[in-house]
Amino acid sequence: MAEAPPPTTAVEICNLALARLGQTIQVTDIVTPVGKPAILCSQFYPVVRRKLLRGPRVFNFAKERAQITVDATVTPAFGFASAFRLPNDHLRFLTLGDIDEKDPRLTGLYQIRGRHIFTDETDADDTLNLSYIKDVTTVGLWDALFVDLCYLELAKALAGPLTLKSSLVKDLDAELRDIRLEAGAVSGQENPPIRITRSSWIASRRMGGNFRDPTKHSI
């Protein structure tokens, strides 16, 4: 018997969650849902997906880069010179330019306010290079471990309203702990060693100066 292909749609993720709960019914549409299971899936699925993508584990398939421009309609009241509109699919900030996301000095260079990032660090064209986690809605692009996390988390969310069995939630928590550990280990193996970028504009800011050479340290 040939093995089933990996899920490629949100509906398939929902049906995996329902199957894990022992539900025999399958849903066919969560955009215009009909029936309790489909309605619940349409409510919980996008919440679970975004929660997992925004969570502490960074999945490489969800990393994105973008060059964004100054939003001339928004001016920070104080602290920073420029505001940039975040991409529509932005879920979580990672880093500016080539600065390592784990560099402790990064946090002083920006603030997130709503759908904008405030910063002083722009290049000569008032653009900003941004790395971030995007809301990947195309299931076929997901990592296999993320598929497991998503349908199990969704099953956990659906367990109460669909089954009323608290024991199921405990079982799912145990499964999720194992998957989370595996996902964290794999993510750590795939990411290269940390490189701390020591650029002259960072050093200048730490000394209280305003030096910035956009031709060499463009972000």
Directed axis angle between helix 36-54 and helix 10-20, to 10°? Answer: 110
Is residue 170 very low, low, confident or very high in pLDDT (cuts 50, 70, 90)?
confident
From first CA to last CA, the distance across the chain in angstroms is 52
* Mean of pLDDT values over 116-136: 90
Q: Which residues contact 116 (CB under 8 A, 6 or more apart)?
A: 71, 74, 83, 84, 85, 86
Average pLDDT, whole number, for the chain? 83
Sign of the C-alpha dihedral, residues 195, 201, 203, 205?
negative
Does residue 67 lie within any of the structural domains? Answer: yes
Together in a domain, 72 and 52: no
Question: Does 216 reside within a domain?
Answer: no
Residues 125 and 200 in one domain: yes
| Residue for token pair 């040939």 | 2
For residues 190 and 55, give the distance between their C-alpha atoms in angstroms, rounded to a whole number.
18
* Amino acid at site 207: M
218 lies in some domain:
no
pLDDT at 198 over 60: no
Q: Averaged over 129-152, what is the pLDDT?
A: 96
How many whole angstroms separate alpha carbon 105 and alpha carbon 185?
26
pLDDT of residue 186: 60
Return the ∠ at Cα 114 (arms to 108 and 118), rounded to 5°: 35
Higher pLDDT, 41 or 177: 41
Structural domain contains residue 3: no
Number of domains in the chain: 2
Identify the domain containing residue 156 by its residue range.
Answer: 10-56+138-190
> In percent, how much of the chain has pLDDT > 70?
83
Query: Would you say residue 147 has pLDDT above 60?
Result: yes
Sheet containing strand 127-134, strands side by side:
63-69, 127-134, 90-96
- What is the structure's pLDDT at 191? 54
Residues 145, 99 share a domain: no
- Section 133-162 average pLDDT: 95
Give domain status of residue 171, yes or no: yes
Q: Does the pLDDT of residue 164 top 90, yes or no? A: no
Is there a domain that residue 219 lies in? no
Q: Which two tokens stand for residue 146?
A: 């993320």
pLDDT at residue 69, rounded to an integer: 93
pLDDT value for 188 = 52
* pLDDT over 80 (residue 182): no
Same domain for 104 and 142?
no
Which has more confidence, 186 or 105? Answer: 105
pLDDT score for 65: 95
- Ranges assigned E (strand) in 2-148: 63-69, 82-85, 90-96, 110-113, 116-119, 127-134
pLDDT in tens, 26-76: 999 999 999 999 999 999 999 999 999 999 889 999 999 999 999 999 999
Is residue 128 located within the same domain as residue 86?
A: yes
Assess if residue 1 is contained within a domain.
no
